[in-house]
Structure 1
């Protein structure tokens, strides 16, 4: 039936013989292979600068710290399903990424971009199949529209900057991948139904293949993210919109949809966590403590959805983490006015369906207009339906995120493309192409600019903190990003702001503590770690950090207690076992330390820290040469791992080979200029060689890096006194 649509008659435009072989711009672009290539090129242009974007926000817990994705074999054998059964397939792709590229972001971004391009292609194919459905046999559109709508909808989908969060933010692959499977299921279903209609409602072999493809894609969507819950209703909406009114043909689909929705309800009802938490986009470690009631969440979502619509029409002031007010009164102006806008939009969709219903005696022009109106109405209803999981009565801690628009965008862009095609139906093809090209180019440039903000963690969170100055989380993430770049004073300011804005936030106290520790203010760091643990006794990160800080201070018994509790909280956590091994080692309990370090290595065979601790246990047992070989092996295999070289330097120091120790310490501070213990130990090594001036320079450098470090200040003062006594 697609051939009939493409062969619809158009008014011929006379041309001179000289111009007869010169295709117009519209004719050049009216070719499917060129469309496919153009969609790819636009996506590449908008996201070419994302391959170096670092892991941010929830990437920390979902990728960097996620032990479940470290081994594909273990993931497939049960660890992956145990970690998150409802998002198993999405996390499997992350496990495969880790297998091939470890924690190099470029590989993850390449996969995210490939998914985005594939979504654009599926949008294009779905629009083309839609225009071949029975509805459009009665409501035939002009050839210009059948070429314009699929291409423009797909280009808007891949070019619009509102999609950046779903594509550039690595872990939001869950949203884009679920959308790919969701749309693929609808595409296969639509193609199967078209083939069924063409064969007189029989089930031809090709149609059965497409229906099976729809089933497989639907199952994949359900195994990727909870937004797939609306898929059965979306299939019903699509079938009703484009395959006539006869319900007898839909009994099978209706039954399958009811069973599917019932299965989802049972799964949610038997889950150990509330549904709002299950579908939340941000890990529990980064959530604020207050909960939102169902009614307040619904009232707030009226304003949120209007914000989404504004972003689709005018994509400015985009933000990673919005500081969005929670509303609790319907007649608050933002809520009431937003409700009116959404109610009018929904009513418009229903009215468009009524206007587009086939009527006997319609002229060709009226039939064509009915086709446009049906597409616009369908797009609006699609937008509302696919937002319903995250923008209705199910309260989620974070009321707004841009990546939640990724799936609803299909309906919006289909409606936009249809409005455009209707408005330019009688325009010259060159004018139509020029306007569309300008819009797509402007969106692509805006996407590239938005992605440039994502390109650096400090830039991203500085932008977010400026746009959400009264929200603790952007300040907290900015502090963390600044700390990674050794911009300690700026990190202290941002971290202090986060604690001021959310004194009850256990994560804010933890980040401020790490800043204090970097500054050398160990007592202040311990105080903040204690506040974090007091706010959340089960917060493993702060508990481990508190133990490490106490260990530095020499409070080994209390540090060991912290590490033991961490192991009790999460016995499958490599870091917890490794930290406990280190504390036990310092107390001379080598046998138990060895047990925990071997367990840490078993939990994560690729981890470097347990291997270094095992070498340290060997060193403590008196086998310095064996320990040195083990340190050298780790350092040789991982030249950028400063800690292994630091421990190697310590082994040389204990062996009294000071020159070798100093060489290793120099390599450590070259790799990490902020590594204060390396400066201090290098100073001690120089002092052992009686090179007091060089020792003093190392202590001074430690003070420059960490002005509040008390040990560095004490060593510097003692060394100065010694030099003065020598000179007298």
Structure 2
């Protein structure tokens, strides 16, 4: 190992340690946004035997029909994570994405070194390549991709693109074996962006192997050369193209396409400016922006965007003329090409910060190559070694600040409440963001705050069906059954073909004892989404309760095809033959309660399985250990409500409120019990 390689090795080790420190607080960050349907409720990732089917059945990518797709490589890695962790433990999912990211950055070092040597020969080029790879590894913006687990599609597809590209440029004598096509082929099953590899390879050959500039493309004398370049990469075009066609033909439509094309594309010019600025000033990052399509073509943001795009094209053309600046041109081409898929397909979101992961590879090449040319031009300044140390100190500051930024953003991504609170502050006009923040608050029992967020969201997105589902759930938790039903019906009216509205409405109807009505809603939900675990689970309980043995048997078999080891479904299948109802028991086992909190959890367990007397007993045990335990009194009140013993319920709720006047659940339970007593 020569001195340079040895130094690079030690520098890489230092960068790796810094990377670990930056992401140390991210490994237990939870599931967010689309993770819910692609991971949490996606039962197919819970069995490795499903892996072969991932490559042919788009339904296995998501539990929601509107998100079905063929990102088989992503689903495969998620299934492996689930298997390794033995369940939905975020650590294994986050670690997996992190490892792929490290692998990508190692590949980038060799890519950058090869491309920069096309510009100039110097012994310090490897250090320049290291600086680029390390900066990319620690760039704050990339943390948005790594924290968002389902965005592994960006990481995997980018990894495969870079691996194919590296094989092609570093081993030209091996091209005849077409090995560079293999990673690209796999990458198609991660994300559609792999098609960008075809364009980037075309320009690589044109600039670096044919010694032509971008301007030479328009000269008639070079037409034959262009055809030869296309012929050279034709095997890649065929394989990637056909594979992509196969993937697209497996689905009915591309998920998320909902905006008008022309205004969307014009808006993207401004988004490019936003992405470019974010490379240098990665501030105000948000998981869900409130920026929408700009419909006025004369809006100043559109004008700024168009000027930027023209300036970008001019820069590409000018820097592609000289060989020493061609890596700058190629990097800008990479940046532009990588943005094309999300710029031409009119997705519902005009911008997402995780979309910068792939394009920033090219932009990093351009920026660091330009810095290298400056060093080369003013190399005499660095004859004094002290100035070199200043340069390394500058790099250390850049990496250190980015590491600090990542560590800070990881805190935001920790859970749903912290993430969506950040979104509500930075994107106050995002109705979906406000709704999700309300949902996070509702999950933590902060009902009054959740209701406030829902009302604000309704002003911004009055036709968003999921908002009304969540408002219905909130009203049901507060025992406002009339309001809850109105909200569920509103959700169905807004999205009559969405299974989610019917599913949650069915659960609500079952909870209030309207089992027959719940059956109709659950069956409708299952009709719209035959793979819905929630709809199937509801129907198992409904058919079991009503004694509909034939339907129970069929549903149990259908459920067991999704989760073969589910005990309740197995019991239901047996019950369909013996005609004896299954007694629903808790899946939670408290071996020996020790603390008041243990008894409280046990009381909740009994409450959920419908054993309200035991719920009261466990709560009383908690009160013996902790007399001023408001939650225990509230559980007693809730249990007495289920038993229709209104006086005892009122007494228990009042005791909870006397201890904690702001106890939302106790206040709501008290109001409900008092209203029922009057009736």
- Aligned residue for 2:342? 390
Q: Which residue of 2 aligns with 1:141?
A: 121
| Pair 131,78 (structure 1): closer, same or farther in 2 beyond 3 Å | closer
| CA distance in 1 between partners of 2:630 and 2:104 (Å) | 42
Distance 1:91 1:530 in 2: 34
Provide the residue aligned with 1:190 in structure 2: 169
CA distance in 1, matches of 2:112, 2:268: 29
Name the counterpart of 1:379.
Answer: 331
What is the Cα deviation at residue 680 of structure 1? 3.2
Q: Which residue number in structure 2 is paired with residue 406 of structure 1?
A: 357
Match of 1:576?
535
Distance 1:508 1:587 in 2: 32
Match of 2:196 among 230, 233, 256: 230
Structure 1 residue 32: Cα displacement? 3.2
Aligned to 1:551: 510
Residue 321 (1) aligns with residue 301 (2): no
Which stretch has the larger CA shift, 245-254 or 103-112?
Answer: 245-254
Q: RMSD in angstroms over aligned alpha carbons?
A: 3.8
Task: Name 1:707's counterpart in structure 2.
Answer: 667
Q: What is the SS of the residue equivalent to 2:347?
A: coil
Q: 1:494 corresponds to which residue?
A: 453
Write out per-residue CA displacement over residues 513-561 of structure 1, whole angstroms, 9 at most, x where no aligned residue: 1111222212211110110011111222221111122223333222111
1:128-180 deviations in Å (ceiling 9; x for gaps):
23345xxx3xx533222x02321111111111111112110010001011111
Cα distance in 2 for partners of 1:638, 1:538 equals 47
1:162 equivalent to 2:138? Answer no
Deviation at 1:29?
A: 8.5
Distance 1:687 1:87, change over 3 A: closer
- Displacement of 1:610 in angstroms is 4.5
Structure 1 segments unaligned to the other structure (5+ residues):
7-26, 197-202, 285-290, 357-369, 722-728
Contact 2:549 2:575 in 1 (8 A): no
- What is residue 605 of structure 2 aligned with on the other side? 645
Quote the residue 1:696 is aligned against.
651
> What does residue range 709-728 of structure 1 map to in structure 2 within 5 Å?
709=669, 712-714=672-674
| 2:165 is the counterpart of 1:180 | no
Name 2:115's counterpart in structure 1.
130
**Conservation of the 8 A alpha-carbon contact between 1:303 and 1:334:** yes
C-alpha contact (below 8 Å) 1:75/1:81 kept by paired residues? no
The structure-2 alpha-carbon separation of the partners of 1:126 and 1:466, relative to structure 1 and needing over 3 Å to count, comes to: same
The structure with the largest alpha-carbon Rg is 1
**TM-score of the superposition, structure 1-length normalised?**
0.78
Matched, 1:112 2:64: no
In the aligned structure 1, how far is the partner of 2:478 from the partner of 2:643?
Answer: 23
1:6-62 Cα deviation digits (max 9, x unpaired): 9xxxxxxxxxxxxxxxxxxxx789623224323422321221111121111111111
**Cα distance change of structure 1 residues 455 and 272 upon mapping to structure 2, 3 Å threshold:** closer
1:103 to 71, 84, 88: 88
Question: Match of 1:708, SS?
Answer: helix
- Mark the CA change 1:78 to 1:49 in structure 2 (over 3 Å): closer, same or farther: closer
* Residue 645 (structure 1) shift: 3.5
Give, in angstroms, the shift of residue 681 of structure 1.
Answer: 2.8
Q: TM-score, normalised by structure 2?
A: 0.83
SS in 1 for 2:71: helix
How many Å separate the matches in 1 of 2:576 and 2:549? 6
**Number of the residue aligned with 2:26:** 50
Is 2:617 the partner of 1:662? Answer: yes
Equivalent of 1:93 in 48, 67, 77: 77
Deviations 1:294-327 (A, max 9, x none): 2111101000110001111111111111111322
Asked if the contact 1:178–1:221 (Cα under 8 Å) also holds between the matched residues in 2, the reply is yes
Paired residues, number: 634
Alpha-carbon shift at residue 632 of structure 1 (Å): 6.4
1:153 to 129, 132, 152: 132
How far 1:499 sits from its partner (Å)?
Answer: 1.9
User: What is the CA–CA distance in structure 1 between the aligned matches of 2:403 and 2:120, rounded to whole Å?
Assistant: 32
Pick the aligned partner of 1:305 from 272, 296, 315.
272
Cα distance in 1 for partners of 2:669, 2:206 equals: 71
